[in-house]
Structure 1
């Protein structure tokens, strides 16, 4: 009888763990989008990203943004990068950043984030058109 009980416990734990894995979303279930994709040349540009759960189209709050970069890689000038600073926001699912878009051309915003409760990292690269 104890041997049967231990096999039952092992089977129960294995089934429970596999169902937990099935509940977690994948990084592709989330999407960042830049609210505006065209900006004027400015040393005080504010970029606002929206993070959405693609499964239910709901905004995602509380993501931990741990990697950000703004550079001119789309125009072949990846070394032309600007500092980027997180700003506070009051809108659910929105993440704001201040940066210097110092010259006309195509800039790229790269972001990596962790969504609470998810194992995978959500990443995006968005091209920003900067005009005079």
Structure 2
């Protein structure tokens, strides 16, 4: 029995596509966005949303691998404060308990791993602490 070479090529192409799986996005297709640009000085909850820029949809279940807050916007990069994960009930929203020791400009630096993606999503966001 002879197999048509075109049918064989088509079968190989279909199998290759199936094994390759769906096309994945790039880490550049994701971004963190502040939920609020201004918080009260002292103990606060800072919330950010991780979204897929192409679809606009929130990205749940990312793993935050690095986090830091400092006062770099006010020229005090060495002025850091505590930041700890806090529970969130909204998919794609990541919350952190922070201690904003001074009023002024603050910078949040985040790095996260998105499931199914190679690389790390990194972003620096600025916000303000008020009295």
TM-score interval, smaller chain: 0.7 to 0.9
Q: Which residue of structure 1 aligns with residue 123 of structure 2? A: 124
- In 2, distance between residues paired with 1:26 and 1:68? 21
Q: Which residue of structure 2 aligns with residue 27 of structure 1? A: 27
4+ long deviations beyond 2 Å: none
Q: Which residue of structure 1 aligns with residue 38 of structure 2? A: 38
Question: 1:51-90 CA distances to partner (integer Å, 9 max, x unpaired)?
Answer: 1111111110100001000000111111110111001111
Question: 1:26-59 CA distances to partner (integer Å, 9 max, x unpaired)?
Answer: 11211110100111211x1100111111111111
Q: Which residue of structure 2 aligns with residue 3 of structure 1? A: none
- In 1, distance between residues paired with 2:89 and 2:39? 22
- In 2, distance between residues paired with 1:46 and 1:97? 6
1:65 pairs with 2:64:
yes
**Unaligned regions of 5+ residues in structure 2, if any?**
1-8
**Unaligned regions of 5+ residues in structure 1, if any?**
1-7
State the shift of 1:23 in Å. Answer: 1.4
Q: Which residue of structure 1 aligns with residue 89 of structure 2? A: 90
Higher helix share: 1
Matched pairs, number = 122
